[in-house]
Amino acid sequence: MSTEAHVNHTHSHADHGHGHDGGTHATFGGYMIGFGLSVVLTAIPFWLVMSGALGSNEATALTVMAFAVVQIMVHMIFFLHMSPSSEGGWTMMALIFTLVMVLITLAGSLWVMYHLNTNMMPGHDMSQIP
């Protein structure tokens, strides 16, 4: 490649910015913080479910779902590097869309499980099945 072609080629790359859109850049420390938060946000709900510390299944389920939403946000920030300023705000739209989808999925799952539980055929006592 000639020197002039090399200079023009390098100059054209500098004009495009190639991924330098003002978003956050990945660092080892950032990944480790995200990993640590992910471990903690997994271990606490696991402990809550296994120990029955909250005493109520409903409170435990709501708490686990809250931890799940926070963990999704941690993953989006620390691993997907989403912020309101990056990519002209499209990542914020993606975050809002993701949160809406998660809420619909969680609410729908709880609704289905509740109705499956309450509409079981009468006369079948599940505790007597060996």
Q: What per-residue confidence (pLDDT) applies to 53?
A: 93
Query: In sequence order, which residues have a C-beta less than 8 Å from that of residue 70 and are 6 or more positions away?
Result: 41
pTM of the model: 0.58
Q: How many CB atoms lie under 10 A from the CB of residue 34? A: 19
pLDDT tens, position by position, 56-112: 998 998 999 899 989 988 998 898 887 767 667 777 787 788 889 988 998 999 899
pLDDT tens, position by position, 31-62: 999 999 999 999 999 999 999 999 999 899 89
